[in-house]
Amino acid sequence: DTAVSQTPKYLVTQMGNDKSIKCEQNLGHDTMYWYKQDSKKFLKIMFSYNNKELIINETVPNRFSPKSPDKAHLNLHINSLELGDSAVYFCASSHPGGMNTGELFFGEGSRLTVL
Amino acid sequence: GENVEQHPSTLSVQEGDSAVIKCTYSDSASNYFPWYKQELGKRPQLIIDIRSNVGEKKDQRIAVTLNKTAKHFSLHITETQPEDSAVYFCAASRLMIGNEKLTFGTGTRLTIIP
C-alpha cells in the first residue's frame, strides 16, 4: 500500500564510505525527486527525474549520483561520505504533467549519519 | 532562481487561538503555492495549496491567501488544536509539465499550548 517507499530508513556509516539509498513509487507518477533536509529542517531539492531523464540537478557535489532504472525507481548513491552529508534524505514523486496537481508525495525519509 | 522567505521561524499559540505564517517569494512567474506540514519524525505532507489565479482558499480550519502584486502568501489556522503542532513549510514553483521544482521556505515550528 505504501505509495513512496525508501530504504534504508536509517543509515550509520563512517566517513569515506560509499552508500546507496533506494526509492520506489507505485503511484504511476512520471517525476521523482531527491530532497535533503538538514539538521535545521531546511528542505532543499537535489535532483529531479522525469520518466528516467534528469531534469533538475542542483548544485550538489558530484559525489552524489542519482540513477533511475525506470520511472518507478530513483536511487541515490553517495561516494566518499563526509560529515556534512549527515541529513534526512527524502524521495518524492509527483503527478505526470497532463494531470499535474503539483503535489509532492514524500517517502518516509532516510536518516543518514556519518561518523 | 526562486527564493522563498518564511516567518516566523517559531510560533507558540494558546489552544483555540489562531496562527498565521507568512511567506514571500521572488520569482513573479511562480504560479503554485503549497503548504506542507511535517510532524516530528514524519514526512512532509500537503495540507493546502493555492494557484496564482485565486486570491484565497479555505479548507475547514485552514486558509491560504495570496497577494501576487506584493508576492506574498500566508497560512491561517483557526481554532488551533494540539495536533496542529508541527513544522510548516511554504513553497513556490512554476507548475510545468514534468518539472515541478518546488522551492521551500525555511519552515515554521508551530507549538500549540494546551
- Whether B32 sits inside 8 A of A102 (CB atoms) is yes
Q: Which of A100, A103, A109 shows the shortest C-beta gap to B46? A: A103
Q: Does B39 touch chain A (CB under 8 A)?
A: no
Q: In this structure, is the dihedral angle defined by the CA atoms of residues A72, B99, A109 and A10, taken in order, positive or negative?
A: positive
CA dist A70 and B59 (Å) reads 36
On whether any CB of chain A is under 8 Å from the CB of B44, the answer is: yes
To test the contact with chain B by mutation, choose from A104, A105, A110 the residue with the greatest count of B C-beta atoms within 10 A, namely A104
More confidently predicted of B93 and B97:
B93
Q: Residue B94's pLDDT band (boundaries 50, 70, 90)?
A: confident
Nearest to A33 by CA among A81, A1, A71, A63: A71
Q: What is the mean pLDDT of residues A2-13?
A: 94
Q: Please check whether residue B90 touches A, CB under 8 A.
A: no
Say yes or no: B89 contacts chain A, CB-CB below 8 A: yes
Per residue in A16-36, pLDDT (tens digit) is: 999 999 999 999 888 899 999
Q: B35: closest CA among B68, B63, B69, B7?
A: B63
Residue B66 cell numbers, joined: 495570496
Report d(CA A112, CA A19) in Å as an integer. Answer: 10
SS3 of residue A83 by DSSP: helix
β pairing state of B108-113 and B10-14: parallel
B46 in contact with chain A, both atoms CB, cutoff 8 A = yes
Backbone angles phi, psi at B39, to 5 degrees: -80, 160
pLDDT at residue B96, as a whole number: 66
Test B97 with A107 for CB contact under 8 angstroms.
no
Of A55-64, A80-89, B26-35, least confident by mean pLDDT is: A55-64
8 Å CB contact between A3 and A26: yes
Q: How many CB atoms lie within 10 A of CB A53?
A: 12
Average pLDDT over all residues of chain A: 90
* Number of neighbouring beta carbons within 10 Å of residue B81: 12
Give the model's confidence band at A98: pLDDT under 50 very low, under 70 low, under 90 confident, else very high.
very low
Residue range A81-85: mean pLDDT, rounded: 96
Q: How confident is the model at residue A101 (pLDDT cuts 50, 70, 90)?
A: low
Query: What CA–CA distance (Å, rounded) separates A90 from A38?
Result: 11
pLDDT tens sequence across B30-69:
999 999 999 999 999 999 999 888 899 999 999 999 999 9
Q: What's the CA gap between B44 and B35, in Å, rounded? A: 9
Q: Which three cell numbers stand for residue A109?
A: 525519509
CA distances A103 to A34, B30, B50, Å, are: 15, 15, 11
Q: Say how far apart CA A11 and CA A24 lie, in whole Å.
A: 18
B42 CB neighbours in chain A (<8 A) are 108
Amino acid A100: pLDDT:
55
Written as one letter, the residue type at A74 is: L
The whole-angstrom separation of Cα B9 and Cα B114 is 20
A105, A29 Cβ separation under 8 angstroms: yes
Residue whose entry in the numeric block shows the C-alpha cell 519524525: B41
